[in-house]
Structure 1
Amino acid sequence: MNIDLHTHLLPGVDDGSPDMEESLRILERMKAGGAERVYLTPHLYSPRTPTDIGAIKESWRKHSAPLNSSGVEVLLGSEVFLRPEALTGEVITMGETDVLLVELPTSARPHYLIEAIEVLQKRGFRIVLAHVERYGFLFKKSLLPFSRSKLEDEVYRLKDMGVLFQVNWDSLKDGRTGLLLEKRMVETIGSDKHHNRDGRGVIDFSSESASQFINDYYL
């Protein structure tokens, strides 16, 4: 199944789509690109984009039927920012499965990373890390010009823990993403599409780049 695991198309709840009309226009483009299922993953516990879980659920209750009239199956999830409050707080999993999309800080490695993942796993969640290519602390920096990046040991530890990796469609030609793909460490893809002004493309599932992702084996 062609799945876009990461979008911000639930109207009016975060920094994503402002209204139903814009969401439907984007979903129409996603359908044309071959998408069969799209997850709406509004921010939760994000320090940059405060949201209210009650408002998210209410928006989903109000908009789920018209969104699903687009010809694409649309399901609710969330993008949970990994911070202490999220470890014990209420979250929204992907389509009522046990899969949880988790976002990390991009500025520096959180000192509690491994321990926090373990806490969420003990709560019964299977963890997908959102846009892994953004986390520079997972990649070794080389002092040599034109040399390739290498993976930090923590990447292998996360994979040993069963953590799944999601990369963004627009990052597939990025060097970090290429390294992860070469090591066969990426399980799923998302557009991270917010709105029509964000400059992000929708996934072209007919392309060779997208065909390597089989997204439905764990959802």
Structure 2
Amino acid sequence: MGICDMHSHLLPEIDDGYLSREQFIRMLNLYQLSGVTAIAFTPHIFNPYVTTNISELRETYQWARGEAESLGLQTYLGSELFVGDQETLKTIPINGRFALVEFGLSLPPPKVLERLQQLVQMHYRPLIAHVERYLWLSPKSTMLQRLRSLGCLLQTNVEAVENNLSLPYLELGLIDVIATDNHGDETLPARLMDALEKWPSVGRSMQNLW
């Protein structure tokens, strides 16, 4: 397939994205014009700082999928799972395969490796969201090596590519996915394609995932 934006918060009135339905349709057109061929909608779940309207999620996604299909865009419903201190990890996997996960910024969650193993045992591939943000995780750390050995993929945000925050990861070939983490910024679809043009190896990695 082409390029999928695997991390976004664009579904109207679901989490902390800030699009109306009219703005959402405009955003879809911008994605299509930029050359992105698929979008994964990944609302927050279990995030202690974000309220997510779970009761409306499926219905809103069905509407969004119909609007996207009319433009020739493939869509997936997923989630961005906050791994805190919950005993059992539950997620909505992207295309039934990828479990997008996020963590607290300062410290790793308890027994993070053992708990991510739960997702692996469910035949999901953990995808660590915006890896550049975590103060306890660095490109050459033992923890990162263990996460990679577990099969975790690493995602960085477009903004981090632009401001070089993710450069240490990119230079070591550690980034598997560049995504927008889009909460309503209409410039991000084109900027995603610009970032992938700068780092074509990541673009190839993203296409090979599917």
* TM-score > 0.5, shorter chain as reference: yes
Separation in 2 of the partners of 1:134 and 1:38? 23
Aligned to 2:92: 92
Separation in 1 of the partners of 2:63 and 2:72? 18
Name the SS for the 2:188 alignment partner: coil
Structure 1 pair 55/112, CA: closer, same or farther in 2 (3 Å)? farther
Aligned to 1:205: 193
Aligned to 1:129: 128
Is 1:217 aligned to 2:205, yes or no?
Answer: no
Following superposition, the deviation at residue 52 of structure 1 comes to: 4.1
Separation in 2 of the partners of 1:116 and 1:209? 35
Structure 1 pair 175/61, CA: closer, same or farther in 2 (3 Å)? closer
Separation in 2 of the partners of 1:31 and 1:109? 37
Q: Which runs of 5+ in 2 are unaligned?
A: none
Q: Structure 2 length normalisation: TM-score?
A: 0.87
Aligned to 2:178: 189
Following superposition, the deviation at residue 135 of structure 1 comes to: 0.8
User: Between Structure 1 and Structure 2, how many residues are aligned?
Assistant: 205
For residues 69-111 of structure 1, the C-alpha deviation after alignment (integer angstroms, 9 at most, x for no partner) is 233222211111113447344x21112x221111111132223
Q: Would you say the 8 A contact 1:14–1:51 is kept in 2?
A: yes
Name the SS for the 2:127 alignment partner: strand
Larger-Rg structure:
1
Q: Would you say the 8 A contact 1:80–1:86 is kept in 2?
A: no
- The one-letter code of the counterpart of 1:170 is E
Name the SS for the 2:6 alignment partner: strand
| Moved beyond 4 Å, runs of 4+ | none
Q: Would you say the 8 A contact 1:46–1:81 is kept in 2?
A: yes
Q: Within 5 Å, which residues of 2 pair with 1:22-101?
A: 22-85=23-86, 87-89=88-90, 91-95=91-95, 97-101=96-100
Q: Structure 1 length normalisation: TM-score?
A: 0.84
Structure 1 pair 28/60, CA: closer, same or farther in 2 (3 Å)? same
Q: Which runs of 5+ in 1 are unaligned?
A: 140-149
